Amino acid sequence: MMEADFVIVGAGSAGCALAYRLSEAGHSVLVIEHGGSDAGPFIQMPGALSFPMNMPRYDWGYLTEPEPHLGGRQLVCPRGKVIGGSSSINGMVYVRGHARDFDTWEEMGARGWSYADVLPYYKRLEHWHDRGHGGDPAWRGKKGPLHVSRGLRDNPLVKAFVEAGREAGYPVTDDYNGQQQEGFGPMEATIWRGRRWSAANAYLKPALKRKNCSIVRGLATRVVIEEGRARGVELDRKGSREVIRARREVIVSASSINSPKLLMLSGIGPGAHLGEHGIDVIADRPGVGQNLQDHLELYLQVAASQPVTLFRYWSLLGKAYVGARWMLTGTGPGASNQFESAAFIRSAAGIEYPDIQYHFLPLAVRYDGKAAAEGHGFQAHVGPMRSKSRGSVSLRSTDADAAPSIRFNYMSHPDDWAEFRTCIRLTRELFRQPAFAPYYGHEIQPGDGVQSDDELDAFIKEHAESAYHPCGTCRMGAADDPDAVVDPEGRVIGVEGLRVADSSIFPRITNGNLNAPSIMVGEKIADHVLGKGPLPRDESEPWINPRWQTSQR
């Protein structure tokens, strides 16, 4: 029988960080991962990012239930089924989140998770490379395992995006992960020397070189709980069941979709729902699977009047050139995720910190890799940051191999519609700034004919897509909060020796992409597991727009 001090379910963003820190401290660690190797160019080449999230080999292939407010559409919900988890199939964008996001976590009962508490962990995990684009190194980490870099930013459209923001009256920031998130500036990515720098590359592979850390392939079917304490994990390995024992703790880091699913299969969750499936209730926690959140986004696309976009590489010959150059030298378009400019802005006066995010791309293309029919173009991915809509993850059956039922309830709150219409109108204004005049042809999507609230709503209903940032389904809160699933140290309330550490514990979604805060959660929970005191608080004051109460920009 295999056993270790700590058994971690899931070799994703947080799980890899935990494996690294717990084994570094001298403990034996076994990591359970259902997916396979991350070797090969589809994952390691940043420019190939549209491939792995659409490949069953690397992705769980989840679909939402029909979304009633999006015309019954079923949206894809990619989750990494590979070492590195979703950090091996994502867009590699690195965003810490805004300081106020974490202050809100603490206000919601996650004591010890304010920005002053988490900033030291961000500094510990980062190895920051600014490429000379500015930013204050006092806000960043220089010795961590996770390389964070900036692209070459040599496409004129990338610079035009930031200049257009300045012309429109918005702030410019040289580091949205530093003191000032609000504004337009360079985007950061988990890319190093032309390769995807996933949690597997940063954390897991170095950890596996230690004798006290190893990985086990298989599907975790349930947490084994005896007399109120987690004792191990039942595993399906090639059709046979076995139990991996944990001498100290089991830590579930299986994603905001699979972590609540595994807890429910183990008897932890809403009692009535478990009863419907004949599962004995060990801990009646109604919050398991609830509080599901995500970011939705739209692609606003413009036809380019000059052939300066990445479309010149879109032919078979062009793609062969990009791939060959990357394979031989690690350079060229394949060495970038092409998200090299970004922005965070506020949608209205009276909003204290940004509630809209932009990714700019010098190509008109979809996440599934299908280019716009009109050839040369560019686009802004834009969406609100703090939707009030909430969804759920529930069991479809007691078969651990069956996909859970995923209901986001996208756009179920009326404010979502007003926020998205604002996103579209602000983006159109941005693209009409002088900086884009040399490149602006015409609007491809939504198109100039779509102007009224009703027309915009119809476009949103048909075209809004997930930004793939699900979180919140095992919410962290005070131990006496009936809707919380874990306490502020990640311990599952009502079960000994069991923690959850991944994006599922977020009380509320953070600004931007979720890979960075997920890794930070793994880093911080590791210290709680080890019984170490938290890193000293960092009281650095974030920049808040002094005119936020009276001005939108």
Q: Which positions are annotated as active-site residues?
A: 469
For residues 288 and 474, is the Cβ–Cβ distance under 8 A?
yes
* Nearest one of 538, 549, 64 to 348, comparing CA atoms: 549
DSSP string, 412-432: -SHHHHHHHHHHHHHHHHHHT
State the distance between the two ends of the chain, measured CA to CA, in whole angstroms: 61
Query: What stretches of 182-340 adopt beta strand conformation (E)?
Result: 183-186, 188-189, 191-192, 195-196, 213-217, 219-226, 229-237, 240-252, 268-269, 283-284, 296-304
31 is known to lie in a ligand binding site: no
Residue environment code for 260-286, b if the CB has 16+ CB neighbours within 10 A, otherwise e: bbbbbbbbbbbeebbeeeebeebbbbe
Query: Looking at the DSSP assignment, which residues form a beta bridge with residue 14?
Result: none
For residues 410 and 509, is the Cβ–Cβ distance under 8 A?
no
**Burial zone of 172 (CB within 10 Å; 0-12 exposed, 13-18 middle, 19+ buried):** middle
Crossing angle of helices 515-529 and 115-125, in 10° steps, is: 100
CA 453/CA 471 separation, integer angstroms? 30
CA 123/CA 133 separation, integer angstroms? 19
DSSP state of 139: G
Q: Return the SS3 of 126.
A: strand
Crossing angle of helices 115-125 and 99-107, in 10° steps, is: 130
**Is it true that the peptide bond before 260 is cis, omega within 30 degrees of 0?**
no
337 is known to lie in a ligand binding site: no
CA 311/CA 300 separation, integer angstroms? 17
Amino acid identity, position 79: R
CA 113/CA 110 separation, integer angstroms? 6
522 is known to lie in a ligand binding site: no
CA 548/CA 349 separation, integer angstroms? 6
Residue 33 CB contacts under 8 Å (≥ 6 apart), including other chains: 10, 11, 82, 83, 215, 216, 217
For residues 442 and 417, is the Cβ–Cβ distance under 8 A?
no
Neighbours of 135 (CB within 10 A): 23
Binding-site residue ranges for FAD: 82, 90-93
Binding-site residue ranges: 82, 90-93
